[in-house]
Amino acid sequence: MAKHTLAKNIDKHLNETITLKGWVYNIRKSGKIWFLIFRDGTEFIQCVILKNEVSPEVFKLKTTLTQESSITVTGVVQEAPSQKFGYEILVKNIEVIQIAEEYPISLKEHGIEFLLDNRHLWLRSKLPNAILKIRHEVSKASRKFFDERDFTLIDSPMFTPNASEGTTTLFKTKYFDQEAYLTQSGQLYSEAAIMGFNKTYCFGPIFRAEKSKTRRHLTEFWMIEPEMAFYDINDNMELAEEYVSYIIQQVLENRRKELEILKRDVTILEKIKPPFPRITYDEAVKILQKNGRNFKWGDDFGAPDETLITKEFDKPIFIHRWPAETKPFYMKRDKNDDKYVLGMDMIAPEGHGEIIGGSQREDDLDLLLERIKKENLSEKMYNWYIDLRRYGSVPHSGFGLGLERTIGWICGIKHIREAIPWPRTIVRLSP
């Protein structure tokens, strides 16, 4: 491959002649000069084409080049204070790789369904590009955070014989002559892994047959799940607030430009530092009742409830100590009142809702068996998991952070389908 410069790096080549390879984003014409907005996925750059600087054939390209045509541009990097990026290219030559057919996504606004149907092309546009670069940053920061704190990455399987988060959202699939489910969470496997590695995390896709058509639900999403031996619920919340603060700081440090493209108000993000407020489930219910909402104790909070509860805070908050019946079988009972379990959710501010769910796990063999029986789960299927309470059981905790919900909040976007490259929802399986 010929050596060429990525558009994002041209500032290192001021006054030098360089070659760029990419696509035509837009063209503006005016007499003896025309402008080409070039993109290569790393940056958008203005290229200036002057009649007396290029061959007549190249100058004529102003009438034949179409949006998204692929090209090679050679030219001199010059300062351009009027341009957002601060640099532009004075073109010496353009080679056409392919003239694109009429491109369906123009620079005017399109409806969201049209854009989602054309996700394979829409990925080239400015906003998706910025969001997915932030997604990359959050993934990278997540790995870095746990890697630097003695966690071992132990991935969980995607095919599983059992449910972890209730049986209503399982995707069932044939597995030769057995039945299998796509994973709802790597947690149960991580609980086994920490007995061998102390602190672990898994980071992969999660599948839930969510019937809900909301702006917070995908059927395929990504979760980062740390699990820690000898951590109680307070240690768990402390780690979660440190982690979330860390990824926000990394995005602020490394992806300012993308946040600007998204017009994100960063003052809110800049305030995100530990500690985060902690309230119990009962206190959250009181906030709702105080605000005149008709909420029944024992129900789970819906999106409008979460928005109302977080309105009083400008940071994410923890809601902890949940009624046992609202949460899965594996959560540890509160020894002060066994109506409650030691679960904790982190709710993001600005109406973005729950981004983390976690808990201290039930480490007592008999209590766990009792919960498994009560929920009509198969003891045989969970036998390996129950083993963990037979051989050196220890207090332990963990949580799962939903990657797309977190990105949705950081980017300030309404619907999390834009926070994943290829969204899967109840109504969308393609492209």
Residues found near ligand NSS in the complex (CB under 6 A): 164-165, 185, 187, 208, 210, 217-218, 221, 223, 225, 354-358, 398-400, 402, 404-405
Kindly tell me which of 41 and 277 has the beta carbon lying closer to ligand NSS: 277
Of residues 39 and 199, the one with the C-beta less far from ligand NSS: 199
In terms of CB distance, is 244 or 308 closer to ligand NSS?
244
38 or 330: CB nearest ligand NSS: 330
The minimum distance between CB 249 and ligand NSS, in angstroms, equals 20
Q: Nearest approach, Cβ of 327 to ligand NSS (angstroms)?
A: 9
Dihedrals φ, ψ of 139, to 5°?
-65, -45
Closest distance between ligand NSS and the C-beta of residue 175, in Å? Answer: 22
Residue 135: CB atoms within 10 Å: 24
Determine the Cα–Cα distance for residues 393 and 283; give it in Å rounded to an integer: 32
Smallest separation (angstroms) from ligand NSS to the CB of 164:
6
What minimum distance in Å lies between the beta carbon of 149 and ligand NSS? 17
Q: Closer CB to ligand NSS, residue 72 or residue 169? A: 169
SS3 37: strand
Indicate the residue among 36 and 331 with the shorter CB distance to ligand NSS: 331
Q: Helices (DSSP H) in 13-118: which residue ranges? A: 56-64, 112-117
**CB-nearer residue toward ligand NSS: 300 or 314:** 300
Q: What's the min distance (Å) between Cβ of 104 and ligand NSS?
A: 29
Give the separation between CA 8 and CA 25, rounded to whole angstroms.
15
CB-neighbour burial class of residue 114 (10 A; exposed 0-12, middle 13-18, buried 19+): exposed
Sequence-distant (≥ 6) Cβ neighbours of residue 264 within 8 angstroms: 410, 411, 412
Cβ contact 405:303 at 8 Å:
no
What residues contact 250, with CB distance under 8 A and at least 6 apart? 137, 138, 140, 141, 144
Q: What amino acid is encoded at 77 in this protein?
A: V
Minimum CB distance to ligand NSS, residue 23 (Å): 32
DSSP state of 170: P
Residues in CB range of 196: below 8 A, 6 or more apart:
none
